[in-house]
Structure 1
Amino acid sequence: MNFDNILFEPFAGVARITLNRPQVYNALSPGLLQDITAAINAAAEDDAVRVVVITGAGEKAFCSGADLKEGMAGAKSLGDSLRTNYNPMIMAIRSIPKPVICRLNGVAAGAGCSLALACDVVIASEEAYLSQIFVNIGLMPDAGSTFFLPRLVGMQRAFELASTGRKVSAVEAVQMGLIYRAVPSSELDLVVSEVVSYYRNAPTKAIGAMKQVLNQSLNSNLEQMLELEAERQDELSRTYDASEGIMAFLQKRKAVYRGK
């Protein structure tokens, strides 16, 4: 599968998606947004893929946000652009029943920050930073940031980040619970590789179920979650990986999961 604006590299259970517009710091054009969405959907349908990695080309930026020169191309309004291009991308990332790892190699600003926060695990270079920069052009956060921010850092901190648009270093972002981990840039690939290796060998269907149920928990009560747990656990109990995991435990050996 070939794309104009990303590099899509599925190999050995991992689908790596690289935003490939380094000349504009990987700014989000309609074409780039559509390519990301298509790649995520392709990874979702490929049984061989067990984990997805999203990163940016170049050394300075993961994604600098919306491409203001191209962002309105073909759109009747900014709202139309969000509904057509941005929202499907965010929903694809949140709904794929596989872990999505963000390799945050540089700045993540505006909708680029939203893209990072939509991922399941964010591992950043200590030189990277995140910014809800929308306020600097008289707009509010979009592409899911108003959903993710208060759930990750609380309402007051979310308001502060959104209303100031200040730069948050990767180290501070870890401290406030905005992202998972920050490491020296020289160690970024090694740490991402270790995390990816874990998920590539994990029981994929169980991981996918966890992701979907945790998503649902944000808008459900305890009774609803208990029933959903029962339903999904029953489904998982009939998978190959559950049988293998139980057998390996009884035989006191390491389980070999197939993602089935």
Structure 2
Amino acid sequence: MFQTIILTKNGRHASLTLNRPESMNAMDDIMMAELADAFESLRDDQEVQLLTIRGAGRTFSAGGDIKKMADPASPMDMTDVMKSITRLSRALYLLPQITIAAVHGSAAGLGFTLALACDIIIAEEDSKLAMNFIGIGLVPDGGGHFYLKERIGAANAKKMIWAGDVLDAKTAKAAGLVDELVPSGQSGQAATHLVSSLLKSPLSAMMATKRILHGSNEAELADILDREAAAQIAMRQTADHTEGIRSFIEKRKPVFEGK
């Protein structure tokens, strides 16, 4: 059914795997659309109560597929891309299921946003997390502003977005961006253990609390997603973004001019 993700269901638990390991699970236009489709398909599932999201191979997700952004042979239409990103973010945040992100390797850019959209984030101690859109002259999308503000407040969100620093998992945990740290190689096992524990919990009550809290924020998320989409399309036309992409491909430090 899907080309770039794997969605499986086992009773009350569903598991979604980002499945482009050869590209460090970087999200291209196909994966973004498939994630949106998958999350929307789970919205009305009356049986599934838990969803675990993980990445295949050596990392959770490197974020947006920068190389494909720069490939003139297969350019990604930014209007369509932003529509998919908006769909996937809104659908994930409003899922009735309790969602768990199991992070290993790295979660960068849109990959980090995807993890932040989940209710519970488990990260391996040697994993790296970064809201690093600024490095290629872009703004966070997929609700990145919203999710950071929810977890660490607007002032700290601005600092993190503008710095674009790569955080180790322990620093991210101390900042409130990760809920549980586990040893290297143990995120999958930890997620399985958590799922087992939650399946013995009053999940209907937990899901009701999620509906109340997330439902009250739905309008704000929608507004931020609209603003992010407009800003991202505009930023894609800037000289700074062109330089950011070029420097990434050439593996050098970018020289930005604020244009």
Aligned partner of 1:65 in structure 2 is 63
Aligned partner of 1:235 in structure 2 is none
1:25-44 matches, within 5 Å, as 25-44=24-43
Q: Deviations over 1:176-233 (max 9, x none)?
A: 111211110243233211211133333333222211211245589xxxxxxxxxxxxx
Cα gap change, 1:95/1:54 in structure 2, threshold over 3 Å: closer, same or farther?
A: same
TM-score (norm 2): 0.77
| Stretches of structure 2 lacking an aligned partner (at least 5 in a row) | 220-259
Aligned partner of 2:94 in structure 1 is 95
**Structure 1: how far apart are the matches of 2:200 and 2:42?**
16
Aligned partner of 1:144 in structure 2 is 143
Q: Paired residues, what number?
A: 216
Name which of structure 1's ranges 187-196 and 171-180 shifts more when overlaid on structure 2.
187-196
**Structure 2: how far apart are the matches of 1:165 and 1:5?**
27
Is residue 49–residue 96 contact of structure 2 (8 Å, CA) maintained in 1? no
Is residue 50–residue 199 contact of structure 1 (8 Å, CA) maintained in 2? no
Aligned partner of 2:222 in structure 1 is none
| Stretches of structure 1 lacking an aligned partner (at least 5 in a row) | 221-260
Which amino acid counterpart does residue 66 of structure 1 have in structure 2? G
**Structure 1: how far apart are the matches of 2:143 and 2:10?**
29
The structural deviation recorded for 1:75 is: 5.6
Q: CA RMSD in A?
A: 2.1
Is residue 29–residue 76 contact of structure 2 (8 Å, CA) maintained in 1? no
Residues 1:106 and 2:105 are matched in the alignment: yes
Aligned partner of 1:153 in structure 2 is 152
Which amino acid counterpart does residue 63 of structure 1 have in structure 2? S
1:118-197 matches, within 5 Å, as 118-197=117-196
Is residue 68–residue 76 contact of structure 2 (8 Å, CA) maintained in 1? no
Cα gap change, 1:19/1:219 in structure 2, threshold over 3 Å: closer, same or farther?
A: closer
Q: Deviations over 1:36-65 (max 9, x none)?
A: 222223333333312000000012x21111
Aligned partner of 2:12 in structure 1 is 13
Relative contact order, CA 8 A, sep 6+: which one is greater? 2
Aligned partner of 2:247 in structure 1 is none
TM-score (norm 1): 0.76
The structural deviation recorded for 1:33 is: 1.3
Name which of structure 1's ranges 133-142 and 204-213 shifts more when overlaid on structure 2.
204-213
Which amino acid counterpart does residue 81 of structure 2 have in structure 1? S
Q: Deviations over 1:97-129 (max 9, x none)?
A: 110100112211111111110011000111111
Larger Rg: 1
Which amino acid counterpart does residue 204 of structure 1 have in structure 2? L
Which amino acid counterpart does residue 124 of structure 2 have in structure 1? S
**Structure 2: how far apart are the matches of 1:219 and 1:67?**
28
Aligned partner of 2:206 in structure 1 is 207
Name which of structure 1's ranges 44-53 and 9-18 shifts more when overlaid on structure 2.
44-53
Percent identity, aligned pairs only?
31
